[in-house]
Amino acid sequence: MNLKAKSFQIRQDVLDMIYRAKAGHIGGDFSVCDVLVTLYYHVMNVGPDKVNDPNRDRFILSKGHSVESLYCILADCGFFPKSDLETFSQYNSKYIGHPNNKINGIEMNSGSLGHGLPVAVGMALAGKMDNAPYRVYTVMGDGELAEGSVWEGAMAGGHYKLDNLTAIVDRNRLQISGCTEDVMHHDSLDERFGSFGWHVIHAEGNNIDSLIAAFDEAKATKGMPAMIIADTTKGCGVSFMENKAAWHHKVPSAVEYEQGMAELKAKEAAANE
Ligand SMILES: Cc1ncc(C[n+]2csc(CCOP(=O)(O)OP(=O)(O)O)c2C)c(N)n1
Ligand SMILES: [Mg+2]
């Protein structure tokens, strides 16, 4: 499968969904899209036929506000009908603005930042205790790293040497209100996670080949969990959304929708050439 093209196709579905619902977090959806596409279509042992398989890999979207990308990928993978997405953010729909485990394929409710890594540590520890073959993955935002519970999870993951656990930081350098380096700086993530006993790997987070290499390295790491610092661009794929804090949860106007869609279609076509 052409994962680069797939990623631009998923972004179009996300743009459609957010434009229709007049709600969503498009900037973080677009920065994390390549990470999620790489995980769901290449790395993880998951699928609609495996939702109750005890050996399935576990995934937690800790930065739960990027649920639109996750919904579009789950629909595309057949976890539920794509038409369900038309109810996103509507009254009585279970497709709400953050992940919840009433939805096929979603393991954990998230959205209150800082909870994904500690729960992923528990899942990975359970896997070790059961001698189970599954791996656990979680994606955090870089703004999310300001939550203290992330560091409790990091401490425990290192302590228990959880080499069945891979965490990813979507390092787009923006959070809700501006630059992470102004709000709460993180420019020593290698040293910080390294000192908690994690193997730190760097990846270009909007480059599928770089991500595949990083996930391969994480899988091959023994005796410690792996932390992939994925350098990304918030809003990646639509020129006027890129690197702008305002697009954290701005809804596109009709003109912006048309322009964004045209850019994404052109990029998908280029990736298919
Ligand atoms: C505990 C908690 N505090 C505050 C928020 C509000 N909030 C939602 S998204 C966000 C910014 C997150 O930034 P980052 O983790 O960098 O996400 P990304 O840039 O990938 O969108 C904040 C503060 C929240 N969801 N949970
Ligand atoms: Mg961020």
Q: Please tell me the distance between residue 77's alpha carbon and the centre of ligand 1 in angstroms.
A: 27
* 187: pLDDT strictly greater than 90: no
Of 22, 14, 32, give the one whose Cα is nearest residue 89.
Answer: 22
What tokens does 109 get?
């409710």
Which residues sit with Cβ closer than 5 angstroms to ligand 2, an ion?
141-143, 172, 174-175
pLDDT digits (tens, 9 = 90+) for 87-136: 999 999 999 999 999 999 999 999 999 999 999 999 999 999 999 999 99
State residue 206's pLDDT score: 98
Ligand 1 atom showing the smallest separation from residue 140 Cα? 15
pLDDT digits (tens, 9 = 90+) for 209-265: 999 999 999 999 999 999 999 999 999 999 999 999 999 999 999 999 999 999 999
pLDDT digits (tens, 9 = 90+) for 24-57: 999 999 999 999 999 999 999 999 999 999 999 9
Q: Is 28 in the pocket of ligand 1 (CB under 6 A)?
A: yes
Q: Is 13 in the pocket of ligand 1 (CB under 6 A)?
A: no
Q: Give yes or no for a contact between 119 and 109, defined as CB atoms under 8 angstroms apart.
A: no
Task: Give the separation between CA 225 and CA 138, rounded to whole angstroms.
Answer: 12
Task: Identify any residues that bridge with 61 across adjacent strands, giving them in sequence order.
Answer: 139
Evaluate whether the domain defined by 3-272 bears CATH number 2.40.50.140.
no
Task: Give the separation between CA 144 and CA 112, rounded to whole angstroms.
Answer: 9
Q: Please tell me the distance between residue 232's alpha carbon and the centre of ligand 2 in angstroms.
A: 9
pTM: 0.98
What tokens does 245 get?
């804090």
Q: 266 Cβ partners below 8 Å, 6+ apart?
A: none
What tokens does 148 get?
């203290």
Q: Give yes or no for a contact between 32 and 139, defined as CB atoms under 8 angstroms apart.
A: yes
Task: Identify any residues that bridge with 178 across adjacent strands, giving them in sequence order.
Answer: 175
Helix (H/G/I), strand (E/B), else coil: 100: coil
Q: Please tell me the distance between residue 67's alpha carbon and the centre of ligand 1 in angstroms.
A: 12
State residue 158's pLDDT score: 98
